[in-house]
Copies of this chain bind each other. A is one copy, B any other.
Amino acid sequence: MTRSPLASPFPDLPAVAGVRVAVARARYKTWDRADLTYVALDEGTAVAGVTTRSKCPSPEVEWCRAALTLGHARALVVNAGNSNAFTGSRGRAAVEAIAARVAGATGCRPSDVFVASTGVIGVPLPIDKAEAGIDAVLTAPEASWEEAAAAISTTDTFPKGAIARAVVGGRTVDLVGIVKGSGMIAPDMATMLGFIFTDAAIDPALLQTMLAAANIRSFSCITVDSDTSTSDTVLAFATGAAGNAPLTTMDDAGADAFQAALTDLCTQLAHLVVRDGEGATKFVTVQVDGAVSDESARIVALSIANSPLVKTAIAGEDANWGRVVMAVGKAGEPAERDKLAIRFGATQVARDGLAVEGYDEAPVAAHLKGSDIEIGVDLGLGDGRATVWTCDLTHGYISINADYRS
């Protein structure tokens, strides 16, 4: 797989106190690379998570949802190459076997073990390979964040990680995250998985609230192809090793700073996913202002970001703002044609329901030749606003998904 032209280098990421990472070769596919990632978490680690809203979720998603209600974690296992989705009772048995194996070896409870899998759908995860992989990873040397980011990947073209920091109660806490995929980007139903680790001390219920708030502004605001996976999962683990006075409410000193850092981290990770969108050559920011609510703005922005005609126009560096009008119109949200304004980059192209007088396409054409594209829409109705991110739709997307035989 050719590395995405929008790829970023992997950043320097520090170890997070209370977190130990290792990888192993379970050989879920016929490849010679690490595909099982294990993260050991110190006693007292809080956990929060958001998962796919698919009506056909994987058994891993169901397992994590149940475990998240308890709020505590001691281990994370990530399998790459097989999503274990749509596999009935055999799939559920595989997840239970993994949790039991880890619990038996480490003395924690099975419900302290979080499991995520990504890859082909409809093939039960082979329990023998998973158990052998776990046995190997438990005695493996510590791995780097970059090795872990690579081991959780499937058809990703580069490993993805990010960092943010916040000062909480006089202590600086680190937030480190790794992520793979880009919605339903991969030929075999591989998915978006994100894992965040922090040494902050924070109550799991508050962490859940903060993660949900960060998610709605980040992972829920990206799209590559509008296809939602059966396994999307983002988990956040907080070990408490930083020794700050534990955060328990949004009123605590440092809670706002931690929320800002968490949202920043999730946004960085979400952007990396878009930058590895299948066939992507342009990173596109869609900003909608003037909607009747923030949620309405998000729906309109996603309608634009998911429109095949908008995405192909961007791929063709075509200032076809009529397609943006079309995408606003089809969103189903409140919009008034004669109040609508549209810009590409800094150039206004339409206002009050028609093209601006003396519209000069040259600066727009120049903007579209770049790799970072911005589309701005003002609905002129209220204060609702949202930003979403996507990529263009190119021959590369078709090649990856139609020319490839799964």
Query: Among the listed B57, B309, B326, which residue makes an inter-chain contact with A337, where contact means beta carbons less than 8 Å apart?
Result: B57
Tell me which residues across on chain B come within 8 A of A327, comparing CB atoms.
227
Query: Among the listed B121, B397, B399, which residue makes an inter-chain contact with A325, where contact means beta carbons less than 8 Å apart?
Result: B121
Contact B329 A228, beta carbon cutoff 8 Å: yes
What number of copies of this chain does the assembly contain? 2
Tell me if A12 is interfacial: C-beta within 8 Å of chain B: no
Tell me if A350 is interfacial: C-beta within 8 Å of chain B: yes
Tell me if A56 is interfacial: C-beta within 8 Å of chain B: yes
Tell me if A87 is interfacial: C-beta within 8 Å of chain B: yes
Shortest beta-carbon distance from A359 to chain B in Å: 9
Tell me if A225 is interfacial: C-beta within 8 Å of chain B: yes
Contact B402 A312, beta carbon cutoff 8 Å: yes
Tell me if A229 is interfacial: C-beta within 8 Å of chain B: yes
* Distance in angstroms between the alpha carbons of A8 and B312 in the assembled complex: 28
Nearest CB to that of A401 among chain B residues?
A: B312
Query: Among the listed B88, B122, B335, B393, which residue makes an inter-chain contact with A338, where contact means beta carbons less than 8 Å apart?
Result: B88
Interface string of A83-121 (1 = CB under 8 A from B): 001111011000000000000000000000000000011
Contact A227 B403, beta carbon cutoff 8 Å: no
Contact A308 B227, beta carbon cutoff 8 Å: yes
Tell me if A248 is interfacial: C-beta within 8 Å of chain B: no
Tell me if A171 is interfacial: C-beta within 8 Å of chain B: no
Shortest beta-carbon distance from A311 to chain B in Å: 8
Given the contacts A55-B328, A120-B322, A352 and B225 also touching, CB distance less than 8 Å: no
Shortest beta-carbon distance from A361 to chain B in Å: 11
Tell me if A404 is interfacial: C-beta within 8 Å of chain B: yes
Most buried by B among A91, A229, A336, A406: A406
Tell me if A209 is interfacial: C-beta within 8 Å of chain B: no
Tell me if A320 is interfacial: C-beta within 8 Å of chain B: yes
* Distance in angstroms between the alpha carbons of A371 and B334 in the assembled complex: 40
Contact A325 B122, beta carbon cutoff 8 Å: yes
Tell me which residues across on chain B come within 8 A of A354, comparing CB atoms.
86-88, 90-91, 122
Tell me if A260 is interfacial: C-beta within 8 Å of chain B: no
* Distance in angstroms between the alpha carbons of A123 and B121 in the assembled complex: 48
Tell me which residues across on chain B come within 8 A of A228, comparing CB atoms.
326, 329-330
Contact B227 A330, beta carbon cutoff 8 Å: yes
Given the contacts A398-B394, A402-B393, A56 and B308 also touching, CB distance less than 8 Å: no
Tell me if A323 is interfacial: C-beta within 8 Å of chain B: yes
Shortest beta-carbon distance from A65 to chain B in Å: 14
- List 18 other contacts, CB 8 Å, given A57-B337, A86-B322, A395-B402: A52-B329, A53-B332, A54-B329, A54-B330, A86-B353, A88-B338, A120-B322, A122-B322, A188-B322, A189-B326, A225-B309, A227-B307, A227-B323, A228-B329, A228-B330, A308-B397, A313-B406, A318-B404
